[in-house]
Amino acid sequence: MLLEVNNVYNIDCAEGIGLLERDCVDACITDPPYELNFMGNTWDNTGISHSIDLWKEVLRVLKPGRHYIGFDINSEYYDIAEKRIKEYTEDNKHNK
């Protein structure tokens, strides 16, 4: 099955992108997981954002010269966020 244009699909991105033809996308705009295991969310700890194969797929489907806009965090923020998550987790352990 190939995906139809101008439809919304609620499916795993790794599966969905494989259903797209080469050079068919005008823009990829994404806020992928930051892989922080934020608040214990399982989707934030799968490693998908670090998948070279997935990003190669993004390049495959984007039309030449088209746009990618991705939300991300820098390493300094990552360090701060990791510290805050540890504090949050520790606080919640004590509060139980």
Ligand X SMILES: C[S@@+](CC[C@H](N)C(=O)[O-])C[C@H]1O[C@@H](n2cnc3c(N)ncnc32)[C@H](O)[C@@H]1O
Interface ranges with ligand X (CB under 6 A): 12-14, 31-34, 43, 48
Cβ of residue 40: shortest distance to ligand X, in angstroms?
Answer: 13
User: Minimum Å distance from CB 9 to ligand X?
Assistant: 10
Q: How far is the CB of 95 from ligand X (least distance, A)?
A: 26
Q: Check if the beta carbon of residue 28 is closer than 8 Å to that of residue 71.
A: no
Question: CA-to-CA distance for 14 and 17, rounded, in angstroms?
Answer: 6
Considering beta carbons, is residue 32 or 55 the nearer one to ligand X?
32
Nearer to ligand X, 9 or 90 (CB): 9
d(CA 48, CA 54): 8
Q: Which is nearer to ligand X, 16 or 92 (CB)?
A: 16
**Who's near 70: CB < 8 A, 6+ residues apart?**
28, 29, 30, 31, 32
